[in-house]
Structure 1
Amino acid sequence: MSSREKILAAVKQNQPEASALPALTGLSGNMPGTLEAYRKVLEALGGTLFEIENETAIPALLAEHYPHLQRIITATGPERTWINEDPHLLEDVDMAVVPGQWGVAENGAIWLTEQEVGARVLPFICQHLAIVLPRERILPTMHEAYDKIGAPQTGFGVFIAGPSKTADIEQSLVLGAHGAKSLVVFITGKSY
């Protein structure tokens, strides 16, 4: 038996007894999973929220609030010819419109996966990011979000909250330093 095998055998023989994971009840807090709670946190992070009935309202809102956009890529509809492009060819995307799976009221984050986004780099390389999220997909806390997500079924998933920012550069806040300069969230569905 080699030294390596002896060490591994000793480690295996001296494992602690298995114990149940601690219960997380009580850690979820009392944040409501409402649109109002989500909006408050998102706007505090520098994001913008629009309530729309369906996705057909998005082009008009983008034209009104972002008239300077040249290249808009939409990952929410069937027209996704850009998906097989070399990711380097996405460097000139002004606005990416992508679907979100779950929104989290406590921190304004939205869960995205490569299955919906199409290209992992898209939410990070675009100048501005828009995420479409159904109203009923807002959860109170990250605990509930991880319960809903479970074991990821895709190779890549990420929570995105607000436009990127850093305060490391000369002691001043810089938006868009390492990602999108702005985040717009389109909440779809009727309000009740």
Structure 2
Amino acid sequence: MNTKERILAAVLANQPPASPLPNIDSFKGTDQDLISTYSDVFTTIGGSVFVVKSLAEVEGLIQETFDCTRRIITTLPELRDVSDRIELYSAEVMPHSFEDIELAVLEAELAVAENGAVWLTEQRMGQRIIPYICQHLAVVVPAERIVPTLHEAYEKIGVGDYGFGAFIGGPSKTADIEQALVLGAHGPISMTVFILESEASSTTSYPGE
């Protein structure tokens, strides 16, 4: 047994006794209107929210809101099916080629009402650089995947199988000591969330389900 093995064996032999996790029921959210709560919070952190019934409606809002003459990419095949202006992500494309993305449209695993964040995994991003290098980020989240608090979000994502994931809340921003807020400082200039009320528009389950 070498030195490393002896150290690890000593650590393993001196583990503290197991104890039950604390009860966190008091931190769980209430039966508030999650769509309204999420929309209010997300708007206050610099984002935009649209409640939609279909991906076709999402495509129409994209045309109204963004410059469709520039490159738009998505990881949602259904969205590509309703618009030939949108490029479907391909794993065969080199990551360096994503430098000119004007808008990225991704689907979130879930959203959190209390802070406006969405949970994106690498499977949803396609390539992990996409939600950070694009000029504008748009995220589609089915309404039934909005949870009240981060505690409930972690209960759902804790059993997921993913190599990389991140909570993203609003456009990138920074503020100096003079309280001057700058949006789009080191990432997307804007972030838009489309809350999809039609459950039939998505077949994706929570991580681990």
Q: TM-score of the superposition, structure 1-length normalised?
A: 0.87
Post-superposition Cα deviations, 1:60-94, rounded to whole Å, max 9, x if no partner, equal 21221223651100111165353321111001000
Inter-partner Cα distance in structure 1 for 2:50 and 2:6 = 62
Inter-partner Cα distance in structure 1 for 2:32 and 2:126 = 31
Gaps of 5+ in 1: none
Gaps of 5+ in 2: 81-87, 200-209
AA partner of residue 123 (structure 2) = Q
Higher mean C-alpha deviation, range 6-15 or range 182-191: 6-15
Quote the sequence identity (%).
48
In structure 2, the partner of 1:83 is 91
RMSD between aligned alpha carbons? 2.5
Please state if 1:74 is matched with 2:82: no
Inter-partner Cα distance in structure 2 for 1:9 and 1:136 = 46
Runs (4 or more) in structure 1 with deviation over 6 Å come to none
Classify 1:69/1:183 alpha carbon distance in 2 versus 1 (closer, same or farther; 3 Å): farther
Inter-partner Cα distance in structure 1 for 2:75 and 2:177 = 33
Question: Do 1:100 and 1:112's aligned partners in 2 also have CA atoms closer than 8 Å?
Answer: yes
Classify 1:169/1:98 alpha carbon distance in 2 versus 1 (closer, same or farther; 3 Å): farther
Question: Do 1:31 and 1:141's aligned partners in 2 also have CA atoms closer than 8 Å?
Answer: no
Classify 1:10/1:66 alpha carbon distance in 2 versus 1 (closer, same or farther; 3 Å): closer
Give the count of matched residue pairs.
191
AA partner of residue 186 (structure 2) = H
In structure 2, the partner of 1:120 is 128
Higher mean C-alpha deviation, range 92-101 or range 162-171: 162-171
Inter-partner Cα distance in structure 1 for 2:142 and 2:74 = 16
